[in-house]
Amino acid sequence: MSNTRQADAHGRWRAPIVFLLIAALFMLEGTTRNALFSGSWNSALAILNMGLISAVMALGVNMQWGYAGLFNTGVVGFLALGALGPVLVSTAPVQGAWSAGGLRVLLALAVGLGTLALATQVWKRVKAPLSFILIPLVLLVGCVLYRFLFDPAVMAIEANNSASAGNIGGLGLPVLLSWPVGALFAAAAAWGVGKVALGLRSDYLAIATLGIGEIIVAVLRNEEWLARGVKNMSGIPRPVPYELDLQNNAGFVAKAAAWGMDPATASAIWVKLLYAGLFGTVLLGLILLAELALKSPWGRMMRAIRDNETAAAAMGKNIKGRHLQIFVIGSAVIGLAGAMMVTLDGLLSPGGFNPLRYTFLVWVMVIVGGSGNNWGSVLGAVLIWFLWIKAEVWGPELMNLVTMPLPEGALRQHLLDSAPHMRFVAMGLTLLLVLRFAPRGLVPEK
Amino acid sequence: MDFLNALVAILNFVVIPAAAYGAQLALGALGVTLIYGILRFSNFAHGDTMAFGTGLVILVTWGLQALGISLGPLPVALLALPIGIALCSAFVLGTDRVVYRFYRKKKSDSIIMVMASVGVMFVMNGLTRLLIGVDEIRFDDGARFLISVQDFKAWTGLTEGLALRLSQALTLVVTALCCWALFRFLNKSRSGKAMRAYADNEDLALLSGIDPERIVRLTWIIATALAVTAGTLYGLDKSFKAFNYFQILLPIFAAAIVGGLGSPIGAVAGGFIVAFSEVAVTYPWKKIATYLGFQPEGLLQLLSTEYKFAVSFVILIVVLLFRPTGLFRGKAY
Amino acid sequence: MAEPYLSASAMRGGYGKADILNGCTLTVDQGQIAVIVGPNGAGKSTAMKAVFGMLNLREGAVKLGGEDITRLTPQERVHKGMGFVPQTHNIFPTMTVEENLEMGAFIRTDDYRETIEQVYHLFPAVADKRKQNAGELSGGQRQQVAVGRALMTKPRLLMLDEPTAGVSPIVMDELFDRIIEVARTGISILMVEQNARQALEIADIGYVLVQGANRYTDSGKALMADPEVRRTFLGG
Amino acid sequence: EDIKLGISLGLTGPLESIAPAIQKGAELAMKEVTDSGKLLDGSKIAPVAADNTCVDAAASVAAVERLVTSEGVKGIMGGMCSGETIASLEKVGVPNGVVMISPSATSPALSTIDDKGFFFRTAPSDARQGEVMADIALSRGVKSVAVTYTNNDYGKGLADSFANAYKAKGGTVTIVAGHDDGKADYSAEVAALAAAGGDALVVAGYADQGGSGVIQGSLDTGAFETFVLPDGMVNDVLVTKFGTALETSFGQNPSAEGDGHDKFAELAKAAGFDGTSAYSGEAYDAAALIMLAMQAAKTSDPKVYKDKVMEVAIAPGEKIYPGELAKALELIAAGQDVDYVGATAVELVEPGESAGVYREVDFKGGKLNVIGFR
Amino acid sequence: MIQVHDLHRHFGGFRAVDGASLTIETGSITGLIGPNGAGKSTLFNVIAGVLPPTSGRVIMDGEDITGLQPHQLFHKGLLRTFQLAHEFSSMTVRENLMMVPGAQTGEGLMNTWFRRGRIREEERALRKKADEVLEFLTITHVADEKAGNLSGGQKKLLELGRTMMVDAKIVFLDEVGAGVNRTLLGTIGDAIVRLNKERGYTFCVIEHDMDFIGRLCDPVIVMAQGKVLAQGSASSIMQNEAVIEAYLGTGLKNKVAAEVAEEANFGESHGAQPGLGAEAGQGGDGKPAGDL
Ligand SMILES: Nc1ncnc2c1ncn2[C@@H]1O[C@H](COP(=O)(O)OP(=O)(O)OP(=O)(O)O)[C@@H](O)[C@H]1O
Ligand SMILES: Nc1ncnc2c1ncn2[C@@H]1O[C@H](COP(=O)(O)OP(=O)(O)OP(=O)(O)O)[C@@H](O)[C@H]1O
Ligand SMILES: [Mg+2]
Ligand SMILES: [Mg+2]
């Protein structure tokens, strides 16, 4: 607490300085070739693009944690739901999938949800001894009915051309349209989750959301009819041209030549720039909205709620309502990031949705950047992503450095062989160093 | 109707494995809960502390084996355990000195400590792999089974067999001992009470003449001892593989929280709940039903095993809904 | 006159850049009761913290029994025989009342059971709750536990920051009574009070602190008699 | 000329324990070629490894991006897992025109992907192996099985194709249950499999991952004694781990009819790693194919040599086994045809993936014994 | 008017509030006193919706408000302060006040994007109001300090200040006086009277300072062991034997007198020092202060 005044003094310059630092890192990555940087704009832009998406994720987490103190560790789940958006909206329809069982699946899902709704109603309306019989009964009947409808429909869909499809397929709509849909998926799930779990305090909410994230990912991995499960869904359409088309485009090749670049490099860079433009626009739009909200009474109310719920409730603030609101919005933003991510990857690979990478790394981004501060979390996201990727190179380099003075021999060989694992050490060390020198984040909340 | 066979089948496939796994989780959760309760943050590096410590134990074990030492039926690793704990504690105290102490002095938010522990996790993660590699390592010597399936069948003449591994029995016994000792320590001993006092109100603990750094050291040492013990038992029972120790972190946290963070009994209960829900909910009851005289058509499996982790989390969430701070009323900072 | 048992002289310091204490001086003799009064935010609690070493002083020195303890940590000061009840956060909420009291006796090596009984005798309300967590007590009961904890230390200098805030009149009487008794045994008492008139009544020396500096220093009686002091600081 | 070849593997992450042997396999081939001094008039091959984490598509793309645009590799031995391979192929390999040959990505999606001729794989096709495995099992009188698979595209695909083939041929599948690699405990899986029952347990997983965890659990609890093991499981790790406990178990993995596999194992042993580890041989073959194609195209330009990969891999021509790369280079330089067989009996079929000959093995006497070929 | 009917609140087996029934008349300043642990704060918490009652009902102006959420009660005009100050510690003191009024335009998320002008105006008005309150409480100089950094008494003042930010119907004050300088408490008392007279606020005040209670409150309700022990005017309460025994005690005066008889030091000034209670009685609004 005692250093607040000091922080204020530097406060206004923190964000620009960090921004410049990051910009410099990217410049180096783009231009210089040495042991640490690759000197390739392609590489720099590739990192930047995913960095921008990470920034959107971080923004979503920051809304939940930084504004309202909601400890959501189910990031990966909401991300995965958002990622479902492009698959269901924009991939090509699968021949025969809907007729095989699409409607029956929808019906089954409706029955499932209806059962849950009915059970909650019973729980609310019916008094104790009777409800103990009724609820299991409702659940049992609902479950049987659900399985009765669901299982054969799913079998039919999955049997439909199972090697290369086996899912219900998409609608073939433009992929940009799927981004808000992805956000909507995540928001809908967040609403349900929030209704149930938001009463929990800090770490308990954390584990509940962690579980929910795991559940969502488990569903995505195992429900093949939905998006092919672990068999991966590739070929998701792009909002930008394909490199090869550009390379075959005479006009483009001529322009590239004018810039003194070979067509392959030029096309790759151009495509990445287009992506960066798209992602950047989304990000800036979100930041603008978030900043406006945060700097007004709404933001003040959120901080008050985060600070002291009991007092805020006594001052007339509807804690549950506000928590739900921000939880849904934050999750929607995370879902949006998920949709953007699969669009960039061109691939939905649920096997890769692991909490370390998509939940905790995002948390690291937010905290290192400065929770509660939009710019902080965004800059933190880009920086941490950069480090995460570069640790792949820096780790082994670090090992080279360490083993330099060692004599040739088994030990040195063992260490050199283990060099890839220095990735973690390098990442850990940078994280610790950043936290050490900016314990409240790079751009702390004022 | 073959009640005995049904019982044995359940014991063999559900109760014994789940109990052993639950005990391993419980030991891990005890450490997590202790650090949470006293140092007030969720230590993400706990899984890797287990891995690192176990790595050390394995190295020592190899050394002892090379010297020709053997404990008869018991694994030599038990002998190596104290040494491993000592070495690992030294390392962990080192991390406290260079990492956590800084934030403690600054009274940083606990989330900062959590993130620092993520950093430590990464570092330990790498170091463990440098130390002992990524391969699967088996280091249990001594007897493998207390009761083996073949023996059991021969004794009883039942069609179902029952196996009890030494490592499982060992795990259960050690967990019970650790839990009891920790409980006694926290509630009865002067140091234990001082630890709780420190957890409750750091400044006031200072005013009572309690040395906070000593408390912190003690906490780390106990938590590390628990972690290394858990890791070693787990490694003896299954096998050692650095990556798995990171994966076990999630169920450990789940266990600690469902029981109530900061509550030792809660951690133990939580461990068993998580383990049993994983095993029991996905268990197909067909065989049991058959023994009991029914002829079910399907497998009678509630959910497929791919969802086992999800199931344990569903149970956890349901528990939390009815008991928002865990079964044994943990803390929520 | 010999050097007072506690002398904190010309203390200057604060939390951030601005000083809260501006040359505040406090002394207490063996067996004396010293009372600090003053408006809210005057720096009374800050002065207490400074004396106890919980605040870095920019200037000034703290001496206890003739020994300079300015550089000692709070914990070392506890071992030198100082006891302190802070104004807020002065109990261990998830420990039972009894354990709270035991923690007060943490540095004692003798048998403290008798002292516990004395405290229970003093505060019968908390005696009934000895097995209950202190965090579940009412405001006034907490305050009683807090004071009880400090008494358990058997200090030679007892520092109390508003011990009677939120305490019912009957208990407050008991408390002041006990404080006098304690002082009799040669223990020095330094306390901050907003129930200033009752406190000054029993005070050997009173300090009126305003903006981190001594405004008036006199015997309790004399301060009570000063109409200016009464009007501005003691509520008429 | 100094030619750089990329190796993109999940050196960290869930499959980190099998990655080193794969990397070594590829490097072994590269070293062999470099030492021979026969590639493109004495070119040297320098391997550059990148860590693609196996599960994180973005990280994989970044790593491969680095290999291509910064290191300037002329070809890549990788990726490792299917999802990550698809991403890096679509986003880096194809746009930049770099050949990628994966030793281990087995997803059917990669068969149909629009790779513009830049992608090949030496890994066997799951569909084919499923058939073979079903035949072997039935021929040994195993009439009902429980199936467990590692929950990724490889395991799932293989399990599906096996189950379908097995059922079509008259066998009974009692349960098909997935297991996740790197998990703490497999009691639940073992319990479920045991309850479902069967003459044998098919384990479509990895030998040093969850696969062996499930086997261990099954053996300990007496749930199963016989295991049917596909390529991911058939290797010496399993033998050292379980020894005689696998007396009745059997399996198959793709291997040359002849001594390719054993030769490679010897070479590997001499180089100090385990050549029987999963996909190590495939990696050797993938790297060898890249270099032989270069030789055949007389250039290291991937856009040119990509068209030669199939040519060197299939008959007609002189059969080439591990350790004979120098000979192959000479033959190609002399304008003669070669048929690369390598460690895993590479037989590429359109669109550039291994058709696979399988050898049937069992584990009698605590050893891995070859029974025959299919 | 608030009516509490046979209210119970138990913690496990312990009956913190054990069948309390009482009425707070509209327009009154009702005092609530009682020994530590009598159940006063618990009663407040139940009325204010923080704790659900074990049984019993709370009626406000004829409407059953039992079990309503705190924020709903706030919008019905029921405000309360906390015994242990509940400030928003990482917000500035001024923000602590400005966040209080409900129905701010700027609290709607959409409005923050589309109705900036209106928000700006409202904020200006709010800020002015907050500054007035700060001025009144003599804490203007810490307006931009984080509330967590306030002194104990200042937090108490802030607690009170929040209730002054909106027009309330009824305000529950839980020991606003504890830790507050007595001179300032006098001013606060004046303000309470003024709010009561001029704006028609109803107050219910828990306080252990009998001067304060005596000066302000009519009627005074005494609680002990979760039940209402006595009720009446301040003066009658202070003479009530049961209340004296349970709560007030026989007064410090006698004891000090006894002490000073032995102690020469104290002896001299004793004569000059009248009883504290008498003093207070005169300082207040002239009511006899009873035995204290
Ligand atoms: N959460 C709780 N659990 C158990 N007992 C409680 C809890 N909260 C309060 N109590 C008990 O209820 C009784 C009444 O407490 P309450 O806070 O209402 O007293 P009070 O009248 O406000 O006292 P004070 O004047 O000291 O503030 C006390 O004996 C207290 O120990
Ligand atoms: N932790 C802190 N950080 C910054 N400023 C503080 C802190 N604690 C107190 N202050 C400021 O120091 C000043 C003096 O505070 P202190 O607590 O000493 O007052 P006090 O005299 O004890 O008042 P009270 O009678 O209200 O308890 C106040 O203006 C307060 O705002
Ligand atoms: Mg104070
Ligand atoms: Mg109270």
Total structural domains within chain A: 2
What pLDDT shows up at residue E251? 61
Q: Flag whether B197 is in a domain.
A: yes
CATH for B128: 1.10.3470
Residue A442 lies in a domain: no
Task: Indicate whether A210 and A340 sit together in one domain.
Answer: yes
Q: Confirm or reject: Cβ of C139 under 6 Å from ligand 1.
A: yes
Q: State residue B320's pLDDT score.
A: 83
pLDDT in tens, A193-224: 998 888 887 778 888 898 899 899 999 988 88
Of A111, A133, A168, which residue is a domain's last? A168
CA A285 from chain centre, in angstroms, equals 17
In a shared domain, residues A276 and A297: yes
A425 vs B contacts (CB less than 8 Å): 122-123, 125-127, 130
* pLDDT score of C45 more than 80: yes
The verdict on residue B289 lying in a domain is yes
In one-letter notation, the amino acid at residue C139 is G
For residues E48, E51, E52, E53, the Cα torsion angle rounded to the nearest 10 degrees is -90
H/E stretch holding C213 reads strand C213-218
C94 has a chain B CB within 8 A of its CB: yes
Same domain for A152 and A271, yes or no, is: no
Strands D200-204 and D172-179: unpaired
Residue D47's SS3 state is strand
Residue of A nearest to D94 (CA): A244
Instruction: Check CB contact of E119 with chain A, cutoff 8 Å.
Output: yes
Distance CA D253, CA D261 (A): 10
Angle between helices A361-369 and A374-403 (to 10 degrees): 110
Domain shared by A208 and A154, yes or no: no
Structure tokens at E125: 């008005």
- Residues of A whose CB is below 8 A from C58: none
What percent of chain E lies above the pLDDT cut of 70?
86
d(CA D266, CA A446) in angstroms, rounded, equals 65
Find out whether the peptide bond into A444 is cis, omega within 30 degrees of 0: no
Q: Which residue, of A168, A193, A211, is where some domain finishes?
A: A168
Number of domains in chain B: 1
For the cut 60, the answer to whether the pLDDT of residue D285 exceeds it is yes
Does the structure show a pLDDT above 90 at B329? no
Identify the three-state secondary structure at position B51: helix
Q: Residue D174 in contact with residue D145, Cβ under 8 Å?
A: yes
Residue B332 lies in a domain: no
The residue of chain A nearest to residue E172, with distances taken between CA atoms, is A314
For the stretch B208-252, pLDDT in tens is 888 889 999 999 999 999 999 999 999 998 888 888 888 888 889
Whether omega for the bond prior to residue E219 falls within 30 degrees of 0, making it cis, is yes
Residue at A56 is within a domain: yes
Is B260 inside a domain boundary?
Answer: yes
Q: Are residues A180 and A153 in the same domain?
A: no
Residue A289 has pLDDT above 90, yes or no: yes
Q: Is the dihedral of CA D111, D117, D123, D128 positive or negative?
A: positive
Mean pLDDT of chain E: 83
Verify that A297 and A396 share a domain, yes or no.
yes
Which ligand 2 atom sits nearest the alpha carbon of residue E141?
29
A19 lies in the same domain as A121: no
Region A397-404: mean pLDDT is 85
Q: How many CB atoms lie within 10 A of CB B202?
A: 17
Identify whether the C-beta of residue C4 lies closer than 8 Å to the C-beta of residue C27: yes
Is residue A143 domain-shared with residue A180, that is, in the same domain? no
Q: Is residue A446 part of a domain?
A: no
Ligand 2 midpoint to CA E151 (Å): 4
Percent of all residues in chain D with a pLDDT value above 90, rounded to a whole number:
28
CB of B162 within 8 A of CB of B149? yes
Q: A274 with A147, same domain?
A: no
Residue C67: both structure tokens together: 């020994």
Strands E29-33 and C67-68: unpaired
Domain end point (choices A168, A199, A231): A168
Mean pLDDT, range D201-221, rounded to an integer: 88
Rounded mean pLDDT, D8-24: 86
Q: How far is the centre of ligand 2, averaged over its atoms, from the C-alpha of E155 (Å)?
A: 10
**Domain range for B103:** 2-322
Residues having CB within 6 Å of any atom of ligand 2: A 1; C 15-16, 20, 38, 40-46, 87; E 142, 145, 149-154, 179
Whether residue D254 has pLDDT greater than 80: no
Shared-domain flag, residues A113 and A207: no
Do E and B have ≥3 inter-chain CB pairs under 8 A? no
Domain E2-84+168-250 has CATH 3.40.630.10: no
- The greatest distance separating any two alpha carbons of chain E, rounded to the nearest whole angstrom, comes to 77
CA C138 to ligand 1: nearest atom: 17
Distance, in Å, from the CA atom of A264 to the CA atom of D323, rounded to the nearest integer, reads 36
Q: Are residues A227 and A88 in the same domain?
A: yes
3 state SS of D361 = strand
Which residue has the CA at smallest separation from atom 8 of ligand 2? E149
Q: Which of the four pLDDT bands, split at 50, 70 and 90, describes residue E120?
A: very high
Q: Tell the residue number behind the tokens 């002998």, with chain if given.
A: B79
Name the band, by pLDDT with cuts 50, 70 and 90, for residue B1.
Answer: low
Residue pair C162/E152 in contact by the 8 Å Cβ criterion: yes
Structure token digits, residue E172:
């529950």
Q: Residues B22-39: what's their mean pLDDT?
A: 91
- pTM score of the predicted model: 0.90
Q: Is B229 a member of any domain? A: yes
Rounded to whole angstroms, the Cα distance separating D177 from D203 reads 10
pLDDT score of B80: 93
Tell me how far apart the alpha carbons of residues D148 and D156 are, in angstroms, rounded to a whole number: 9
Which residue is it, tokens 């609902």?
A: A142
Residues spanned by the domain of A199: 2-93+169-437
| Domain identity same for A126 and A214 | no
Q: Over the stretch A66-78, which tens digit does the pLDDT of each residue have?
A: 999 898 999 999 9
Residues in chain B with CB shorter than 8 Å from the CB of A1 are: 107
